[in-house]
Amino acid sequence: MKTLPMFPVNSEWVAPQTFPNLSTAKEIAIDLETCDPNLESFGPGWPRNDGYAVGYAVAVDGWAGYFPVAHEGGGNLDKRMVERWLKDVLALPADKVMHNASYDIGWLRASGFKEINGRIIDTMLAAPLIDENRFGYSLNALGFDYLKEVKSEAGLKQAAADFGVHPKKELWKLPAMYVGEYAEQDAALTLKLWQYFKVKLRQEECESIFDLETRVFPVLQQMTERGIRFDRQKCARLIDQLITREKAIHKELRTMAGVPVDIWAAQSIALAFDRLNLNYAKTDAGAPSFTKGFLDGCDHPIAKLIVEARETNKTHSTFLQPYLKFSEKTGRIHPSVNQLRSDDGGTITGRLSMANPNLQQVPARHEIIGPMVRSLFLPEEGQLWAACDFSAQEPRLLVHYASLLNLPGAETMADAYKNDPNTDFHQMVGDMAGIKRKPAKTIGLGLMYGMGKNKLAGELDLDVAEASALIEKFHQKVPFLKGTITAVMKRVEHPASGGSIRTLLGRKCRFPLWEPMEWGVNKALPYEQAIIEYGSRIKRAGTYKAVNKLIQGSAADQVKKAMVDLFEAGINPILQVHDELALSVRDKEEALAAADIMTKAVSLVVPSRCDVEIGPNWGEAK
């Protein structure tokens, strides 16, 4: 039996005595307090029914209330009465405002609230559209920076200390009287923040991109809620097979080297190589180094065995075993999707990222492991897996912008795409430059991603002088790439731009930091600090990345608009990986219809194309 504190902290908070009529409110802020026991290990528990809501905070202009229903420490209101009232509130046409709406909407739906009317407004989505370069997106951080207001957590923390619980993770264990004020502040501050963000989005001319992100939200929410069917039995068999094979490889290594070999320890591998009189790479400090590149290039069988052992180990330990745990409750995997940058992850370009687990890391290029792991992901019962992939998405976007800028060589490339949407961009620019496709692809994508000549030299396996000559030849024969990079940099650096560019659908990419004009390694700083530190001869920092941000951000726009168009046509994506959307379809015709919708999502100078692969699972889609 748990010992209660003899003199707990005082609290004057009392639960609401009535259920107010909110029918005239235009905006209603909502925040949930939950018991989410495996949040840190497996992500939010709502898709797996792992946990429960313990209370609901609601705020409108001039009023906020917290309605506790399941605090272990007591002080709860009648759960049925609260839920009946909240159901009516959620059915109102007012906008529902939340901070991290994916979490709150997920737990609302898991708690039985399926009808939620009005727009879902997420201040956590508005914040990175206003400033994608911030360090923090928590409610307190945003409240302080924009409103000079933060939640008062002193009472909550003292009560948590008195009761011996964590003030956030175990808030559900406390009596409701110690949580009420904190929860009400959550909802009230969220509403205030939205009032500020509404104006800021208009000032920044980001209302249209916020509208797109708001429409993307329910697509991603249903993806996570439904999850992806997972073949747990096959997964367990594969784990056993891989562990057996790994043990056999270790026996072969010991026999070959005469000593046990730790495949992840350079010193252990070095000892084996020494015993076999084999040379190996070393770091600048003289330590042995056994990178994958070195091992792949080594002809001795021991190197091949080490590579296989590493791949085998990583497959079962990094992918398969965690997948079994993630799918344990529902037989499905429910990854969390980071829609925009936040404290939990996400990207500054608008590209989607994933966690719990990150299915964007599922092996793709390995001929055996890739299809083997992907074969475990299944469409809905009786349906097919369709992989719809934007073909050469980034090169097409590059040609689009180069054509709008009327740059030399762009028209030729655009005409090629118009005459044949299947045109191989890398082969064509390679032919234009008089170099092979592979180095042409490396140079083209590398320059687009902001790589310098030293890094490109490494990628091309050439010395810097040879790489520089090849890059210069590329620029001479394919001038529109360098022309686009230069034009976009100049746009960012022009005073009228405010140090920003906009993507295809209006996403703003900002370059807020400054550095000295003279070349050197200097810390980029905000303008005022840079003036003090470096004097007046300063320039915007990082503008060499401007094309990459423009292309990546525009690719994000295209993918997200395609997801919205599919969703609104009644087609629900089940997974998004890089330039690919996965669907569960009845037949190939449905997949082709989806691909047609995707190619028409945005208007470009050149035609978009979507490759479609069909199969019984992700790994066998072809």
Residue 593 lies in a domain: yes
- Rounded Cα distance between 412 and 246, Å, is 52
Same domain, 424 and 487: yes
Domain count, the chain: 4
Instruction: Look at residue 9 in the predicted model and tell me its pLDDT.
Output: 66
Of the residues 172, 194, 227, the one at which a domain ends:
227
Structure tokens, 319: 């992918």
Same domain, 254 and 167: no
Same domain, 186 and 328: no
Q: Is 8 helix (H, G, I), strand (E, B) or coil?
A: coil
**What's the pLDDT tens digit per position in 167-187?**
989 999 999 999 999 999 999
Residue 97 lies in a domain: yes
Token pair 């001869």 is at which residue?
Answer: 537
Residue 341 lies in a domain: no
Burial class (CB in 10 A: 0-12, 13-18, 19+), 240: exposed
pLDDT < 70 regions, the chain? 1-10
- Rounded Cα distance between 329 and 365, Å, is 30
Residue 244 lies in a domain: yes
**What's the pLDDT tens digit per position in 368-404?**
888 999 999 999 999 999 999 999 999 999 999 999 9
| CATH code (residue 212) | 3.30.420.10
Instruction: Look at residue 453 in the predicted model and tell me its pLDDT.
Output: 81
Residue 465 lies in a domain: yes
Instruction: Look at residue 457 in the predicted model and tell me its pLDDT.
Output: 84
- Strand-pairing partners, residue 500, are 510
Same domain, 182 and 221: yes
E strands of 448-512, at which residues? 500-502, 508-510
495, 548 Cβ separation under 8 angstroms: no
Same domain, 535 and 594: no
Residue 274 lies in a domain: yes
Residue 500 lies in a domain: yes
Same domain, 243 and 209: no
Q: How far is CA 256 from CA 262, 268, 547, in A?
A: 14, 14, 51
Same domain, 308 and 414: no
Instruction: Look at residue 364 in the predicted model and tell me its pLDDT.
Output: 78
Using a cut of 0.85, tell me whether the model's pTM lies above it.
yes
533, 179 Cβ separation under 8 angstroms: no
Same domain, 188 and 238: no
542, 511 Cβ separation under 8 angstroms: yes
| CATH code (residue 284) | 1.20.1060.10
Same domain, 446 and 476: yes
Instruction: Look at residue 1 in the predicted model and tell me its pLDDT.
Output: 45
- Rounded Cα distance between 29 and 95, Å, is 8
SS3 content of the chain, % helix, strand, coil (to 5): 50, 15, 35
Residue 303 lies in a domain: yes
Of the residues 498, 523, 548, the one at which a domain ends:
548
- Rounded Cα distance between 97 and 115, Å, is 15
Residue type, 140: N
Of the residues 548, 576, 592, the one at which a domain ends:
548
- 291 is in which domain, residue-wise? 230-333
Task: Please name which of 593, 597, 592, 589 lies closest in space to residue 559, comparing C-alpha atoms.
Answer: 597
Instruction: Look at residue 313 in the predicted model and tell me its pLDDT.
Output: 96
Same domain, 421 and 315: no
On the question of a cis peptide bond just before residue 357, with omega within 30 degrees of 0, the verdict is yes
